[in-house]
């Protein structure tokens, strides 16, 4: 978890803004046991973006949560961040 905290502080030290990709990575790294295996890939379109989140197999349950609640919460936060930029965003956990 120290790695995720340093990621957050690094983003704040850079001016206080966080990209949507950094947001997904930050949330995932806080949840998992293996933050070094968190990988986020962004596929951009004109007004939208798809973020593919990959985590270690043993961390998949932590990211999805009971009945998908954690994944849905992450998607909601990502949509809010995207809406502030006038874009749409989709989070896929693969």
Confidence of residue 1 (pLDDT cuts 50, 70, 90): very low
Strand partners, 40: 53
For the chain, domains (ranges, CATH) are 2-93 (3.30.300.20)
Task: Say what the pTM is.
Answer: 0.81
pLDDT tens per residue, range 41-90: 999 988 899 999 999 999 999 999 999 999 999 999 999 999 988 999 99
Q: Please report which residue ranges of 2-94 form alpha helices under DSSP H.
A: 2-13, 20-31, 60-64, 69-84
């Amino acid at each position: 978890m120290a790695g995720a905290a340093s990621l957050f502080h690094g983003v704040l030290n850079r001016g206080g803004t966080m990209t949507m990709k950094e947001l997904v990575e930050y949330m995932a790294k806080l949840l998992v046991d293996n933050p070094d295996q968190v990988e986020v890939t962004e596929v951009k379109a004109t007004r939208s973006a798809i973020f593919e989140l990959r985590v270690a197999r043993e961390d998949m349950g932590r990211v999805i949560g009971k009945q998908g609640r954690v994944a849905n919460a992450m998607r909601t936060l990502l949509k809010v961040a995207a809406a502030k930029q006038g874009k749409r965003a989709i989070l896929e956990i693969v």
